[in-house]
Structure 1
């Protein structure tokens, strides 16, 4: 027959269970964070490769289009054609730079991890208030 535990043993046992639960919860959250970081890294590499290839092809296309415009207006308005092409390119570049800056400010990194940590905090706070 097992001996009954005294109050001190029960407190120590409860503390050990609580510590084990906290460590397990922390480990699962850390694994989630690592997984999200790996997924984000892979997504960024793919985006950079596709964006780089797209920019190279786009710049060739724009170059050919600008060459066409300048050749068409070479006899009468070559300087005006070159100036208009340069102005349009500069305006588009400024617009894209502003859009890129806005996009960079949006935070999505580790969104699920932060959400789960917030839920954990709410559960702990509600259990603390009820006791």
Structure 2
């Protein structure tokens, strides 16, 4: 279940991005960034980067996190659904527990039926939301 949740959070992160201030002058490739510049890190872009996640970055690959978060990508700091470092969301562990508990309860009591088969498209091609652009739908049926 953790792999499914992590892959879902990678494709549809709860935040689009975050800001950080460079504490010192840093070099990014050919670019020299001065100290105190504000940087914007776009989770959606980072989470869909083929150089970090592989050529299938745009696809939902549930076993991507089979060996844990740190081995899922080429960069151990590329997975950012709750931020990273000292400013990581303080509720991230609680949120993961709540999601697992809620999913467990739903799966125990309900069944899912896909009414219009769809393919997962890249989250980078449309804003993340609960609305599907391809008119696919899923019916949640209460179990007996």
Which TM-score band (shorter chain)?
Answer: under 0.3
TM-score, normalised by the number of residues in structure 2: 0.21
Higher relative contact order (CA 8 A, sep 6+): 1
Which structure features the higher share of strand residues? 2
Which structure features the higher share of helix residues? 1
Larger Rg: 1
